[in-house]
Amino acid sequence: MKSDILMVGVGGQGTVLASDILCDVILSAGYDVKKSEIHGMAQRGGSVISHVRIAETVFSPVIPAGSADVIVSFEKMEFLRYLEYINDETILLLNEGKIYPPGAAGGEEEYPDKLIEEKIAIFKKAYILNAFGIADNVFNRKVTSTVMLGKLASVMDIDVNIWKNVIAEKVPSKTVEKNLKAFDAGYNV
């Protein structure tokens, strides 16, 4: 298996933990994996991106332009920032829930609803889910990232039990059950 997966979202949404889980899943499934992300100045509320690369042997930890196989957007507009990574075959997994950027929230800028619609259309395969709503149903918004992982698992060719084992290991022990429920809900949507 060779796959380049971009996970994008907003600081505080759990994209980093989700991409950590994905890395452990890949390793358990017997492939080489590398991940890259930048943290530091990105405080809560900043744009967050994780590159996860899977192959027999991975070299650069960063996905080259036009090479992403899947882009998982944990927030409705965030995938728009990374269009340089996509190609005609890229699959989009999109949470339709919004987190307003300060400019849009402060009234100086508009949330780019039209642009989102226009750009979703360029993907041959786009799965759009109300991950906030699904997460709220299962527990609360904190499991949104696990809902998205469930959806990702449904488009990847890796045994679901490997995913579940890694999630059970990685999330806080009190929330294992809720996270597994969130995973299933995302997987089956």
Min dist. Cβ of residue 1 to another protein (A): 15
Side-chain-side CA neighbours of residue 171 (13 Å): 26
Regarding 128 and contact with another protein (CB under 8 A), the answer is: no
168 binds another protein (CB under 8 A): no
Name the segment binding another protein (CB under 8 A); options: 44-52, 131-139, 154-162, 175-183.
44-52
Q: Which of 89, 110, 113, 159 binds another protein (CB under 8 A)?
A: 110
Burial class (CB in 10 A: 0-12, 13-18, 19+), 148: buried
Pattern 79-108, binding to another protein, x per CB under 8 A? -xx-xxxxxx-----------xxxxxxxx-
| Calpha distance 86→69 (Å, rounded) | 7
Task: Choose between 16 and 180: whose C-beta lies nearer to another protein.
Answer: 16
C-alpha–C-alpha distance, residues 127 and 151, integer Å = 9
Least Å from the CB of residue 187 to another protein: 23
End-to-end CA distance of the chain: 25
What SS3 state is found at 140? Answer: coil
Stretch in the footprint of another protein (CB under 8 A) among 23-31, 126-134, 145-153, 179-187: 23-31
